[in-house]
Structure 1
């Protein structure tokens, strides 16, 4: 699978769809619509917001998943700081496979971003969470034991 499929002028735009574990190209149900605004085209194609992760301008990658009754039933919109890509999943099982593949990356990016934006007054809370995760404890002098 490559990045966005090439588009020949005068031809319908193509989109990637995960269907039963295989990536296939189909006529893109959103990009071939007459609406100028992307969100309007997504909604006009019958999609409504289903789930997502990340917040615009707060994480390096944002995921919005849209759903509709007909195939492809799910639209995965991945937005980075400078570029956006989307792919489709034909059915709910395909969407769950895709979410499972994306989850570690999204989780790591969100956690890294939260740590980077932590303020001094919240650092002790972050340290407590990390100590708990690693089964460590600190004595009254702040020295780490266990883990």
Structure 2
């Protein structure tokens, strides 16, 4: 486990990133698993993410709370137009399918299972424009089976 004081972004720890983006406080029963800011390049596009492991009481409390951006938590799977933007430090995923049929995720096995699961709950916020839906966004996914919380904020 990494220290909860590891810096996600310059001078921003994972708990501070979680609080700033979601309003959720990292309390008792939370520990950081991974975090990174992958923004770069000329225009600074990229993703900042943090992954947390929770105890059962902590995950129960989170699930019972109001999500950060919507009236209620959404049931999985995470829609492909949202989830394909998140790589959480992996090789990422793609999303697609035959016309008229439901699409599926392909790519990193862990993310395919997470984003494609009907057992997860999530909340998302689109931060861009009508002409480019989900070009910039926020996603928080709760996996109650593994007691893991995944937070992604992307700008592309």
The structure with more strand, counted as a fraction of residues: 2
TM-score, reference length from structure 2:
0.28
Q: TM-score, normalised by structure 1?
A: 0.29
Instruction: Please tell me whether Structure 1 or Structure 2 has the larger radius of gyration of its CA atoms.
Output: 1
- The answer to which structure has the higher helix fraction is 1
